[in-house]
Structure 1
Amino acid sequence: MKNYKKVDASRISISELMLPSHSNFSGKIHGGYILNLMDQIAFACASKHSKAYCVTASVDTVDFLNPIEVGELVTMKASVNFVGNTSMVVGIRVIAENIQTGVIKHCNSSYFTMVAKDESGKSTPVPGLILNDKNEVKRFLKALKRMETKKQRQFEFDHQDFSHIDYLPLLQDHKVRIDLPDNF
């Protein structure tokens, strides 16, 4: 019989005060630093769910919505939104709080696909997921939709009949100049 776990069983939240050493040249917190923290919480969440070592397989859509300032308290919340046979999609929400004013802003949301590994480094099965509320069902379904879209896009660009010439008209409305040899 397959093992199942509730989403809440592996939900994780971390908070960290943003220091000047985390900032970029414009004085905002460096995006790479935030990505590093996101990867850490994705690992922790996936490992907690699977009870196995996990590796990052892919990161889907990282949009930096609002800059994070030095001195703000960043909180990341992660949960397993979807499980496959050996993989999990971990949803991460990043918020920043100005601890002097109490103003909170949503800075980022992203989805990390993590794969569970056994001691020999081979992919290993993960427990199923018990969905307890509408949001958890919605997140699971959205993960399915993102995977379907990704497969469709991959097929389109990998398909043998794909020709860049078919897509050249799309470039007319963009700030690009095409200067190709005649035999192109």
Structure 2
Amino acid sequence: MFKHASESQVSITQLMLPSHSNFSGKIHGGHILSLMDQIAFACASKHSRHYCVTASVNRVDFLNPIEVGELVTLKASVNYTGKTSMVVGLRVESQNIQSGEIKHCNSSYFTMVAKDESGKNVKVPGLILDDIQAVRRFARSIARQEQAKTRSSKFKSSEFKFEEHLEFLENQNAKLKL
């Protein structure tokens, strides 16, 4: 079975309240991460028609602060499907209600895994790639998976060769004392 990404896209908009703010008066990053996880779950569950869990989050960069009183919109779409997993692309934007200004606050990729009633991984519908952007997103997800594999094995403690990395320590705010 195959589905279009548009069949499971989800978006939510929420007013940011003082209770969502941190000590500097900006919206707490943890609150935004929680919303991101919720919408990734909703999107993946809608696509797979199963309960889904978060397996990993690929990089979250907070690009612009979100102010109390702004509307935050989160958009989620399935970018990639494996056997039992999906990569859900997320975009977070904030809007100043008075000025109408919209800011891109962050984008991220959540890998979600579909589960059956007994908690075992279950096969998910494939993705119909119906335009160039869909192909680009799918291919980018594959490339990110390959980069993650290389990253994790290169720095595994049993295989790490510190001599190969000494040049990277030059001009850094660190002092080597071995």
1:34-53 residue pairs with structure 2 within 5 A? 34-53=32-51
Contact in 1 for aligned 2:20/2:31 (Cα 8 Å): yes
Report SS of the residue matched to 1:136: helix
Cα displacement (A) at 1:165? 2.7
1:88 partnered with 2:86: yes
Aligned to 1:109: 107
User: Within 1, Cα distance between the matches of 2:12 and 2:171?
Assistant: 43
Structure 1 residues 165, 79: closer, same or farther in 2, change over 3 A?
A: same
Q: CA RMSD in A?
A: 1.1
- Secondary structure of 1:89's match? strand
State the Cα distance separating 1:155 from its structure 2 match: 2.2
Residue 169 of structure 1: CA displacement?
2.2
The structure with more radius of gyration: 1
Q: What amino acid sits opposite 2:57 in the alignment?
A: V
Find runs of 4+ consecutive structure 1 residues off by over 6 angstroms.
none
The residue type equivalent to 1:78 in the other structure is: A
Residue 5 of structure 1: aligned partner: 3
8 A contact 2:44–2:52 mirrored in 1? yes
Alpha-carbon deviation of 1:8? Answer: 0.3
Q: Are positions 1:68 and 2:66 aligned together?
A: yes
Contact residue 77 and residue 89 of structure 2 kept, 8 A: yes
Cα distance in structure 2, aligned partners of 1:160 and 1:89: 30
Identity fraction in percent:
63
Q: 1:160 Cα shift?
A: 4.8
Match of 1:23 in 2: 21
| CA drift at 1:45 | 0.2
Q: Does 1:148 align with 2:171?
A: no
CA contact (8 A) 2:153 2:159 kept: no
Q: CA deviation at 1:166?
A: 2.1
Partner of 2:27: helix, strand, or coil? coil
**Paired amino acid for 2:174:** V
Q: Deviations over 1:10-33 (max 9, x none)?
A: 000100000000000000000000
